[in-house]
A and B are shown apart, each in its own frame.
Chain A
Amino acid sequence: MNVSLTILELAVVSLGIAILLVDLWLPEQHRRLLGYTAAAGVGLILVASFLISVPSAEYAFGKMYVMDPLALFFKRFFLLAGAIVLLLSVEFSDRIETGIGEYYTIILFALSGMMFAASANDLILVFVALELITVAFYVLTSFQRNNIKSLEAGVKYLILGALASAFMVYGIALIFGTANSTKFGDILAVAGSVSSNPLFLLGILFVLVGLGFKIAAFPFQMWAPDVYQGSPTPTTALLAVGSKAAGIVLLLRILFSAVPQIASQWTSLLIVISGVTILYGNLCALPQRSLKRLLGYSSIAHAGYLLLGVAAVSMAGSSAILYYLLGYLFTVLAAFTVICIVMREVDNDDISSFEGLHARSPLLAATLSLAMISLAGIPPLAGFFGKFLLLKAVIEQGANEPGYYCLVIVALVGVVISLYYYLGVVRTVYWTNPSPGQASILVSTPVRFMIYACIVGMLYLGLLPNAAVNLAIRAVQVFHL
């Protein structure tokens, strides 16, 4: 047993507890510092994570926990997302009436859950890590408890999240009963003999249902728009980036480390789910007037794009997913930062409140437009190259199964549909005039810094993708494909 492998998670949890304790004695006017401390702490842990190198997979807790390049990649990913979201919550803190210290702490606990999920090598750890994320999000979504929208979002997430965990536990029970183990290595060893057992297959299916909920894939997507719209904006940002990436890493680990044979048998199921998710997300986003809700539907569509890489069942597909997530992180966090700042004056995220943003704050207008362009997948930004890699991975598999070509066409149709609503936002930002009486928006220095970081991330990944692609390719070497 090697507890020191979990040092990054332990650091995040300790930071969370420290914030909680300091919050008790800190006078009200210094609470803002608490958020900056948390963000700086997470940033430090991120920097420290570069001191760790994992040449080969190492295990802890009886092979329940694995530390390999994939785990390390996702841990850094989550730490980066966590640091940015914490800065965003400081920006948001004046809109939370009570308990801002707890808000930071629960973000940190959710972050530690995501980091454990990145290292899961056993279905028990999968379940516990997912629940750590989900229960933290029940609180985070409903944190503005005097706001009926926030409460509604929390209750909807609670009911559907608990339903997904029930499916997940039942699936784990069935897998345990048939494979007689919950460890990925043992399941892989016996998968050949039990893969014809319908109970085992049902178990895998139920686990996929639980994960499908996390990443908001069709038909488990119905919570996403409401929860995205109602939640406090930093929560939505963390939900869009962290929770989705945690679901994806678990999906990859279970499908490609534990049951690779079944993943290659079920390609048609994965193709259909991916295609329907893309179309559903993009078509439903068209009539939306609320920007957060629009991004909720767009996140469903992006879950579909990410599933393209899963459906490809190949190394190229998995590494494309990792690259895509990295681009998605900068893009979505940039978009939600702008939404958070603009919503400060008008507590309304209707697209009309972004009218004339170019006159009120050129920086915010440019950021929001870049984010929308990257989400739509227009070169030279990160979103374009990510989609290109995903589609390339799918086409490479086309020789084995013609369904892949249909999937590529569906994905391209989805991209074309999405241009309409993404560019609609850009049009609102640039080609309308601000209504009279709307003052220009001041952006505080830390947020300005964060926005620059997101823009640099989007441009860097889009223009010089080599380093990130190599990183992603190295991380996915752990799969048995």
Chain B
Amino acid sequence: MNGVGLEHYLIVSAALFCIGLFGVVTRRSVLVIYMSLELMLNAANLALVAMSRFNGNLDGQIMVFFTITVAAAEVSVGLALIVALYRKRQSTHVEDLTTMKL
């Protein structure tokens, strides 16, 4: 642990979160947006584990288990939904999601 403190982990996790958020905002493919969202969730997991380790409180790591489980459930539903959309539309671009307006 020489020289690597809590702040290093938090900076990495904040960077991951921002990269994920940037991806969600700029990417146009639903699949890539979904990948970016997973990146954001993992950034939060990293922060939780690091803080749990440095605070000496295991609650954070328990939370990570819940987050991973929930994220897995979310991915399974989400990917099924994206596949269903692709079957119907032959595309997963956000520009094609414009049936409903005004």
List chain A positions with a Cβ less than 8 A from chain B.
123-124, 127-128, 131, 134-135, 138-139, 142, 145-146, 148-149, 151-156, 158-159, 162-163, 165-167, 169-170, 172-174, 176-177, 180-182, 225-226, 229-230, 287-289, 293
Contacts and interface: CB of A to CB of B under 8 A. Distances in A.
A334 to B, nearest CB: 24
B41 A169 contact: yes
Given A135-B74, A166-B37, A172 B44 contact: yes
A62 to B, nearest CB: 10
Given A138-B78, A170-B47, A176-B51, A230 B102 contact: no
A127 B68 CA distance: 12
Given A145-B84, A151-B84, A162 B67 contact: no
A155 B30 contact: yes
Contact of A287 (B50, B89, B102): B102
29 contacts: A124-B59, A124-B63, A128-B66, A135-B77, A142-B84, A148-B88, A148-B89, A151-B89, A152-B99, A153-B100, A154-B85, A155-B82, A159-B24, A159-B34, A162-B74, A163-B37, A165-B74, A166-B17, A166-B43, A169-B48, A173-B48, A173-B63, A176-B52, A176-B57, A176-B63, A177-B51, A181-B57, A230-B100, A289-B102
Given A163-B37, A166-B41, A148 B99 contact: yes
Interface string B57-101: 101101100110010011001100110110011000000010110
Contacts of A131: 70, 73-74
Given A155-B97, A170-B47, 6 more contacts: A151-B85, A159-B33, A173-B48, A176-B52, A176-B57, A181-B59
Contacts of B26: none
Contacts of A159: 24, 30, 33-34, 37
A155 B79 CA distance: 10
A447 to B, nearest CB: 27
Contacts of B63: 123-124, 127, 172-173, 176, 182
Given A131-B70, A166-B37, A170-B44, A152 B81 contact: no
Contact of B99 (A135, A149, A174, A293): A149
A148 B96 CA distance: 11
Nearest to A156: B97
A157 to B, nearest CB: 9
Contacts of A128: 66, 70
Of B37, B44, B51, B102, the most chain A CB neighbours within 10 A belong to B44
Contacts of A165: 41, 70, 74
Contact of B51 (A138, A154, A169, A173): A173
A128 B65 CA distance: 11
A176 B59 contact: yes
B102 A155 contact: no
Contacts of A142: 81, 84
A173 B47 contact: yes
B55 interface: yes
A170 B97 contact: no
A420 B88 CA distance: 38
Chain B interface mostly helix, strand, loop or mixed? helix
B40 A170 contact: yes
Contacts of B66: 124, 127-128
Contacts of A139: 77
Closest 5 A/B residue pairs (Cβ): A177-B51, A166-B40, A169-B44, A173-B47, A170-B44
Of A182, A287, A288, the most chain B CB neighbours within 10 A belong to A182
Contact of B78 (A162, A166, A180): A162
Nearest to A168: B44
A170 B43 contact: yes
Nearest to B84: A145
A37 to B, nearest CB: 26
A124 B62 contact: yes
A163 B100 contact: no
Contact of B44 (A173, A230, A289): A173
Contact of B60 (A148, A151, A158, A173): A173
Given A152-B97, A226-B100, A288-B102, A138 B59 contact: no
A189 B77 CA distance: 39
Contacts of A127: 63, 66-67, 70
B81 to A, nearest CB: 5
A151 to B, nearest CB: 5
A158 B78 contact: yes
Nearest to B17: A170
Nearest to B20: A166
B51 to A, nearest CB: 3
Contacts of B20: 166
Contacts of B85: 151-152, 154-155
Contacts of A288: 102
Given A159-B33, A182-B63, A177 B81 contact: no
Interface string B18-40: 00100010000010011001001
A174 B70 contact: no
B81 A151 contact: yes
Contacts of B102: 287-289, 293
